[in-house]
Amino acid sequence: VFDHLVRAPEDPILGVTVAYNKDPSPVKLNLGVGAYRTEEGKPLVLNVVRRAEQMLVNDSSRVKEYLPIVGLSDFNKLSAKLILGADSPAIQENRVSTVQCLSGTGSLRVGAEFLARHYHQHTIYIPQPTWGNHPKVFGLAGLSVKTYRYYDPATRGLNFQGLLEDLGSAPSGAIVLLHACAHNPTGVDPTIHQWEQIRQLIRSKALLPFFDSAYQGFASGNLDADAESVRMFAKDGGECLVAQSYAKNMGLYGERVGALSIVCRSADVASRVESQLKLVIRPMYSNPPIHGASIVATILKDRSMYQEWTIELKAMAERIISMRQQLFDALRSRGTPGDWSHIIKQIGMFTFTGLNSKQVAFMTKEYHIYMTSDGRISMAGLSSRTVPHLADAIHAAVTR
- Catalytic residue ranges: 131, 212, 248
Site for ligand LMR in 171-230 (CB under 6 A): 184
Q: Which is nearer to ligand LMR, 131 or 370 (CB)?
A: 131
Q: Which is nearer to ligand LMR, 247 or 273 (CB)?
A: 247
CA 338 to CA 328: how far, in whole Å? 11
224 burial (CB, 10 Å; 0-12 / 13-18 / 19+) is: middle
Running DSSP on this structure, what letter comes out for residue 43?
B
Radius of gyration of the chain (CA): 21
- Binding ligand LMR by CB under 6 A: which of 29, 33, 163, 202? 33
Binders of ligand LMR: how many residues, by CB under 6 A? 6
Q: How far is the CB of 33 from ligand LMR (least distance, A)?
A: 4
Q: State yes or no: residue 13 binds ligand LMR (CB under 6 A).
A: yes
Q: Which is nearer to ligand LMR, 298 or 386 (CB)?
A: 386
| CB atoms inside a 10 Å sphere around CB 66 | 9
Q: Which is nearer to ligand LMR, 13 or 70 (CB)?
A: 13
Q: How far is the CB of 133 from ligand LMR (least distance, A)?
A: 6
Q: State yes or no: residue 381 binds ligand LMR (CB under 6 A).
A: no
Q: Which is nearer to ligand LMR, 131 or 151 (CB)?
A: 131
- Judge contact between 88 and 256, C-beta under 8 A: no
Phi then psi dihedrals of residue 131, to 5 deg: -55, 130
Q: State yes or no: residue 131 binds ligand LMR (CB under 6 A).
A: yes
Q: How far is the CB of 278 from ligand LMR (least distance, A)?
A: 26
| CB atoms inside a 10 Å sphere around CB 310 | 17
CA 300 to CA 151: how far, in whole Å? 35
Q: Which is nearer to ligand LMR, 214 or 263 (CB)?
A: 214
Q: How far is the CB of 46 from ligand LMR (least distance, A)?
A: 18
Q: How far is the CB of 56 from ligand LMR (least distance, A)?
A: 26
Q: State yes or no: residue 125 binds ligand LMR (CB under 6 A).
A: no
| CB atoms inside a 10 Å sphere around CB 206 | 12
Q: How far is the CB of 183 from ligand LMR (least distance, A)?
A: 11
- Binding ligand LMR by CB under 6 A: which of 29, 34, 250, 288? 34
Running DSSP on this structure, what letter comes out for residue 370?
E
Helix and strand numbers (H, E) in the chain are 15, 13
- Judge contact between 291 and 254, C-beta under 8 A: no
**Count of residues making up the chain:** 400
Q: State yes or no: residue 257 binds ligand LMR (CB under 6 A).
A: no
Q: State yes or no: residue 111 binds ligand LMR (CB under 6 A).
A: no
CA 131 to CA 112: how far, in whole Å? 16
| Secondary-structure percent of the chain, ordered helix, strand, coil, rounded to 5 | 45, 15, 40
Chain residues in the site for ligand LMR (CB under 6 A): 13, 33-34, 131, 133, 184
